[in-house]
Amino acid sequence: MTAFELAEDFMPIYDVSDAVGTVADAGREAAFAALLDVDLLQLGRETPAVGMLGALRMLPDVVGHLLHGEPPARPPESMRLRDLPTIPMYEGGWILLGERPGKEVALGLVGKFWRPVIEFARITSADEFRDFDEPGFAKTVYDLSASEFGASGTLLSGLMRTATTDEHARRWFRRYWTFGVGSGAHILVGALLDSARRAAEAPGAGS
């Protein structure tokens, strides 16, 4: 059994993949709970690179609303990892693909990510994600896991995989990935894991 069992299940074949990890001086259950509780909006405020990535991704959506005479959507006060599956995909949410409690959670997203305003597929379940094969799209899995490391530590890991549904989408996604999106995903997930590590190691965490 691998740390990324869910990613292997939902996306054994893929076009691009990247992984990042960090070791927390904390028990596995406490570290995993801290991971699910990371506030992504607060993370963006605390980490300039993450905030910039989020702003660049949101900017075309804001412009799109304005061009159609619509006010931009008001951002929520917080957005924790555990909250993402409750938000519609077209509003920034993800599909919960599966969870091994205390060990692993996998989220999925389907869209044309290379477009200035992302076109998301209207899917709402893990089964729809698995079966989706409409031409012109990319499917992404973010798999986050916690596993014992040494006598009392925890390895927090993140795996990002993307598969495309046809050659046209593959060409566009590879350009998108090559021009910085790959490193952006690495920075984002790395910051997410580091934030969880700090929270898990804080005095009183997990008590």
Pair type for strands 153-164 and 119-120: unpaired
- CA–CA distance, 129 with 48 (Å, rounded to integer): 32
Neighbouring-strand partners of residue 142: 107, 160
What integer pLDDT is reported at residue 88 of this predicted model?
Answer: 74
Q: Give residue 21's identity as a one-letter amino acid code.
A: G
- CA–CA distance, 15 with 97 (Å, rounded to integer): 19
- CA–CA distance, 202 with 108 (Å, rounded to integer): 30
- CA–CA distance, 6 with 98 (Å, rounded to integer): 7
CB 19 within 8 A of CB 157: yes
Coil/strand/helix, residue 114: coil
- CA–CA distance, 194 with 23 (Å, rounded to integer): 9
Q: What is the pTM of this model?
A: 0.82
What integer pLDDT is reported at residue 76 of this predicted model?
Answer: 58
What integer pLDDT is reported at residue 87 of this predicted model?
Answer: 75
Q: What is the pLDDT along the chain (207 residues), one digit of tens a residue?
A: 577 999 999 999 999 999 999 999 999 999 999 999 988 777 766 765 544 444 434 434 443 443 445 554 555 566 777 887 887 776 666 889 999 999 999 999 898 988 877 788 988 899 999 999 999 999 999 999 999 998 889 999 999 999 999 999 999 998 888 776 656 777 788 888 999 999 999 987 655
- CA–CA distance, 79 with 40 (Å, rounded to integer): 6
Angle between helices 48-67 and 182-201 (to 10 degrees): 120
Pair type for strands 95-100 and 119-120: unpaired
- Please name the residue that has the structure tokens 């008590």: 207
C-alpha dihedral sign at 199, 49, 142, 120? positive
What integer pLDDT is reported at residue 182 of this predicted model?
Answer: 59
What integer pLDDT is reported at residue 110 of this predicted model?
Answer: 92
Topology of the domain comprising 5-65+96-198: Alpha-D-Glucose-1,6-Bisphosphate; Chain A, domain 4 (3.30.530)
